[in-house]
Chain A
Amino acid sequence: DQQVKQNSPSLSVQEGRISILNCDYTNSMFDYFLWYKKYPAEGPTFLISISSIKDKNEDGRFTVFLNKSAKHLSLHIVPSQPGDSAVYFCAASKAGSYQLTFGKGTKLSVIP
């Protein structure tokens, strides 16, 4: 039951370059999407979110793009910094639901 898929388990990027993390979903009822970052031995930390009524949301170095027709979202980090090295989770929720459905995560390594 993989309603939220992150097909790249890992990604390596040079410091200063753009990191692009991808996420696909299958459930058309999802209407709110979030990205979380997780360091080892810590809980997930909220990064940025987007509602299905938008196609882009930006917060500093982080931008999330949503393509509803393709059921695809992406997180862009620019410029990437070594401190961005972490596991990034995509999550989605349905209207009226209390739960988030997470992807398996993508481990980002930013190389100095």
Chain B
Amino acid sequence: EPEVTQTPSHQVTQMGQEVILRCVPISNHLYFYWYRQILGQKVEFLVSFYNNEISEKSEIFDDQFSVERPDGSNFTLKIRSTKLEDSAMYFCASSPRQVVKLFFGSGTQLSVL
């Protein structure tokens, strides 16, 4: 079964550094998403991306965050200047249609020191 691939599985960075989290969505999917889960809390929506632009974003997704689909296969989340509170598991997801049955990757555990 096709799957969403995320790299790296773990990322440790210093506060204030830039990080890029990478994802390869399922190839025929059109909608792409980033979610995160802070330890002990619920999974939270960050952003959705469709037709090469952001279709929706949450209040969490401020100017420090950006997304990009640089080629036909990768989908990236960049955090420009990381904060301690950005430490979380970040999940990439994709879907063939809007919101229906999202397929999630295994996540990138980001630790900001």
Residues on A with C-beta less than 8 A from B48 are 98-99
Query: Contacting chain A: which of B50-58, B65-73, B80-88?
Result: B50-58
Residues on A with C-beta less than 8 A from B93 are 43
- Picked from A100, A102, A103, the residue with its CB within 8 Å of the CB of B99 is A100
Asked if A98 contacts B41 (CB within 8 A), the reply is no
- Picked from B6, B56, B101, B104, the residue with its CB within 8 Å of the CB of A99 is B56
Interface size classification for chain B = 20 to 34
Asked if B50 contacts A103 (CB within 8 A), the reply is no
Interchain CA distance A43-B43 in the complex, whole Å? 11
The chain A residue sitting closest to B104, CB to CB, is A43
Asked if A93 contacts B99 (CB within 8 A), the reply is yes
Give 1 or 0 for each of A81-106: 1 = CB within 8 Å of chain B CB. 00000000101010001111111110
Interchain CA distance A103-B33 in the complex, whole Å? 18
- Picked from B41, B50, B91, the residue with its CB within 8 Å of the CB of A104 is B41
Could you list some 19 contacts between A and B, CB below 8 A? A32-B99, A42-B106, A43-B93, A43-B105, A43-B106, A44-B43, A46-B103, A49-B100, A49-B101, A97-B56, A97-B99, A98-B31, A98-B33, A98-B55, A98-B98, A99-B33, A99-B58, A102-B42, A102-B44
Q: What is A's interface to B at a CB cutoff of 8 Å?
A: 32, 34, 36, 41-46, 49, 89, 91, 93, 97-105
